[in-house]
Amino acid sequence: MTTPPAHDVHAAWLPPEAFRAIGSRRVFVSGSGTVRDEVAQACAQYGGSVVSGEGPVDLVLAVSTAEPLPAVAQAVQGTAGEDGFVFARHDGVTVVLADDPAGLLYGLFHVVRLGESAFGAARPAELHRPATRRRMVDHWDNVDVHPVMGQVERGYSGGSIFWRDGGLRDDLTRVRAYGRLLAASGINAISVNNVNVHATEAHLLTDRLGDVAAIADELRPYGIRVHLSVNFASPIALGGLPSADPLDEGVREWWARATERVYETIPDFGGYVVKADSEGQPGPFAYERTHADGANMLADALAPFGGVVHWRAFVYNHRQDWRDRSTDRARAAHDHFAPLDGRFRDNAILQVKYGPMDFQTREPVSPVIAAMPGTSLAVELQVTQEYTGQQRHVCYLPPQWSEILAFRPWGPGGRAVADVATGGGGLVAVSNVGDDPYWTGHPLAQANLYAFGRLAWDPRLDPAAILDEWIDLTFVPVTNVDPGPLRRTLHAMMDGSWRTYERYTAPLGVGFMVRPGHHYGPDVDGYEYTPWGTYHFADRDGVGVDRTRASGTGFTGQYPQPWSEVYESPEQCPDELLLFFHHVPYEHVLHDGTTVIQHIYDTHFAGVEEVAEARLSWEKLAGAVDPALHDRVRELLDEQLRCAEEWRDQVNTYFFRKSGVPDARGRRIH
Ligand code: BDP
């Protein structure tokens, strides 16, 4: 792939030019620290100045307790609270007031986003506060290169930015730059190693703790706390104990001591992330203990230091007998965790994937999210595009995330998923970043990371508006031509790209149909007769998984009303989820009047056409963006088109052969 010139590295959504409006002004900054450094750098470049005492100013960035506080700041009222800031334009001065340095930093980035418009007409004081305290990304990075999974499990952007050759990288410049990008989007927590904790990585908790501390040092200036994925069996593997039983006193003591050492080394350490009893990872089941027992043991070790444990609810049997139609992977998390509601400590956060399966392009919202009112839940999203084109396809995911966050599990009058997350453990996502010069392999995949941070800050933001914000920050400041066409073209290429991707891949919520193992590209029966529990059950008469109470696995019964009834009924079930919940004949008629089989044909043809269109639009942007970036995206769009055609042809042919029903519009299907 084309490599960009060195100066593009680190640019992403904070090119120096994005600071022009601030850097050309007189800025009062209280105290020392990151905000001062950022402003000083911008002023050095654009001719402004940092002022500390009295005198005329254009922008005040101050912590509310600062002395002296310019009079204009005193006139602005409001308590910002943790991480928050008050923003106002008063008497010709732009004011940002915060109660803590993190809030001030978020305020600075707010002014960056506004650019010149932050210095226009008067604005009454606005209070900006994050909807949730913890806004987190998880890295699935391995210290060693794993023989099958590589260095970053499900990574599509090269190696890890933290680890290299079995140890910490010597140069952590990019880690700091990453922290800056994350802070500018609103993220404040990060876990730095894979949830599948292999042998070397387990040692990060003990003898390799210094590596974690070094990463924490780089990220601290940007208000980001470091968390660590730990192996449940650490007391055995690292401590030489005979057991990892969470109720064993010796085991509890081992975790307490290990955790104490972590906080001695990293006083602002965030906590642990745990994947237990899942896909081969050890867990409490070996000792006939519950997942609440396991999580609480770690929560107790962390509590004296204010730390939290993120305990993942991704627990299911990956060695199912595919001939046994009574089992259903979709049921597993609810079956395991719903009975444990109310039994987790306050500092134990249950981290739940948004859907009951596994980060598919389309799934219903996980019923666990509605089943545990007495537990702090975090909703887990996947920014890394494992099942959504692996950062070779353009797939802007926030429209999907917004749908999930706006979903109301208890019906129209009830709370939304966003309310559950913000009232509990917040949002967590698997990061898509690696050591690729563009950070994310596909340069346009950066938008997913940026938007995740913004939605974690405020889940009600409009994904289309976030997209424009990202375009304006990333591309517009560095273009010397009219940015209008660039903005319009990128918006058109990206805003609907998740739905385009859905159109040319697995239909109507059936999921998977990807190549086993790496999960890129189509494989119509790739997972059909495997132990993973990911089936579509296509036969000559129909397709889809019967998850009804009446005749299927009973999964619909895990939802509260009205959804349990809606999903139970093939007539009421939303079309896009039909095959997730029902096995229907190919001639089943959807709400829009088309049959399932015709819908499959139509969407697959349409999806490919949309990719072809995006490719042509991008061609026209040659000259409007950096040539190396243009080349990189062009090459990737070629690959996306090739792959989309492959999906179209395999899926259409497969269902044509199964059903024998020709395309009503007479298009060529093999
Ligand atoms: C699946 C990935 C696998 C992860 C797992 C997880 O294929 O690599 O380990 O999720 O979330 O989607 O733990």
Helices (H), 529-595: 563-568, 578-581
The answer for residues whose C-beta is within 8 angstroms of residue 561's C-beta and 6 or more apart is 410, 411
Q: Is 496 within a domain?
A: no
Mean pLDDT, residues 580-591? 98
CATH of the domain at 162: 3.20.20.80
167 and 188 part of one domain: yes
pLDDT band at 53; cut points 50, 70, 90 = confident
301 and 395 part of one domain: yes
CA nearest 193: which of 185, 183, 202, 184? 202
pLDDT tens digit string along 107-133?
Answer: 999 999 999 999 999 999 999 999 999
Q: Is 251 within a domain?
A: yes
511 and 362 part of one domain: no
Gap between the Cα atoms of 407 and 426, Å rounded = 16
Give CA separation, 588 vs 249, 538, 550, 598, 602, in Å. Answer: 59, 14, 19, 10, 15
Contact criterion met (CB below 8 Å) for 174 and 10: yes
Gap between the Cα atoms of 489 and 510, Å rounded = 31
pLDDT band at 6; cut points 50, 70, 90 = very low
CATH of the domain at 604: 3.90.1330.10
> The tokens 């404040």 sit on which residue?
188
Gap between the Cα atoms of 547 and 543, Å rounded = 13
Contact criterion met (CB below 8 Å) for 277 and 284: yes
Give me ligand 1 centre to Cα 153, in Å.
8
Q: Is 575 within a domain?
A: no
42 and 163 part of one domain: no
pLDDT recorded at residue 67: 84
Give CA separation, 586 vs 439, 591, 603, 607, 661, in Å. Answer: 43, 14, 15, 20, 8
Region for residue 224 given its phi and psi (left: phi exceeds 0; alpha: psi -120 to 50; beta: otherwise): beta
pLDDT recorded at residue 55: 83
Give me ligand 1 centre to Cα 378, in Å.
17
Statement: residue 2 has pLDDT above 80 = no
Mark which of 81, 112, 128 sits at the end of a domain.
Answer: 128
- By most ligand atoms within 8 Å of CB, the mutation choice from 148, 156, 386 for ligand 1 is 386
CATH of the domain at 112: 3.30.379.10
pLDDT band at 590; cut points 50, 70, 90 = very high
To the nearest whole number, what is the mean pLDDT of the chain? 95
Give me ligand 1 centre to Cα 320, in Å.
17
Mean pLDDT, residues 217-231? 98
Mark which of 63, 98, 128 sits at the end of a domain.
Answer: 128
Has 279 been annotated as catalytic? Answer: yes
Least confident of 77-91, 261-275, 350-364, 439-453: 77-91
Has 264 been annotated as catalytic? Answer: no
Contact criterion met (CB below 8 Å) for 29 and 43: no
pLDDT recorded at residue 282: 97
Statement: residue 7 has pLDDT above 90 = no
Enumerate the β-bridge partners of residue 377: 350
pLDDT tens digit string along 512-568?
Answer: 999 999 999 999 999 999 999 999 999 999 999 999 999 999 999 999 999 999 999
Q: Is 25 within a domain?
A: yes
Mean pLDDT, residues 140-161? 96
b/e sequence 270-287, b meaning 16+ C-beta within 10 Å: bbbbbbbbbeebbbbeeb
541 and 618 part of one domain: yes
Mean pLDDT, residues 649-656? 98
| Atom in ligand 1 nearest the alpha carbon of residue 154 | 8
pLDDT band at 66; cut points 50, 70, 90 = confident
CA nearest 526: which of 543, 541, 511? 511
309 and 355 part of one domain: yes
Statement: residue 35 has pLDDT above 50 = yes
231 and 123 part of one domain: no
Ligand 1 binding pocket includes 277 (Cβ within 6 Å) = no
Complex ipTM: 0.99
Amino acid in the structure at residue 236: I
Enumerate the β-bridge partners of residue 353: 380
Q: What residue owns the CA closest to ligand 1's atom 9?
A: 196
Q: Is 179 within a domain?
A: yes
Give me ligand 1 centre to Cα 274, in Å.
13
- The continuous run of DSSP H or E covering 27 comes out as strand 26-29
List 8, 248, 279, 663, catalytic entry: 279
123 and 140 part of one domain: no
pLDDT recorded at residue 11: 65
Contact criterion met (CB below 8 Å) for 560 and 370: yes
Ligand 1 binding pocket includes 329 (Cβ within 6 Å) = no
Ligand 1 binding pocket includes 527 (Cβ within 6 Å) = no
Pairing of the two strands 542-543 and 584-585? antiparallel
Ligand 1 binding pocket includes 196 (Cβ within 6 Å) = yes
Mark which of 106, 128, 150 sits at the end of a domain.
Answer: 128
pLDDT recorded at residue 524: 98
pLDDT band at 476; cut points 50, 70, 90 = confident
pLDDT tens digit string along 247-289?
Answer: 999 999 999 999 999 999 999 999 999 999 999 999 999 999 9
The tokens for 68 are 């002296």
Q: Is 565 within a domain?
A: no
Q: Is 85 within a domain?
A: yes
Q: Is 495 within a domain?
A: no
330 and 291 part of one domain: yes
Q: Where are the beta strands (DSSP E) in 433-585?
A: 542-543, 584-585
Has 358 been annotated as catalytic? Answer: yes
- By most ligand atoms within 8 Å of CB, the mutation choice from 358, 382, 514 for ligand 1 is 358
- Phi first, then psi, for residue 311 (nearest 5°) are -105, 120
Give me ligand 1 centre to Cα 651, in Å.
25
- What is the total count of domains within the chain? 3
Q: What residue owns the CA closest to ligand 1's atom 10?
A: 358
pLDDT recorded at residue 4: 45
Full residue range of the structural domain in which residue 209 is found = 136-474
203 and 79 part of one domain: no
143 and 123 part of one domain: no
Mean pLDDT, residues 296-324? 96
162 and 47 part of one domain: no
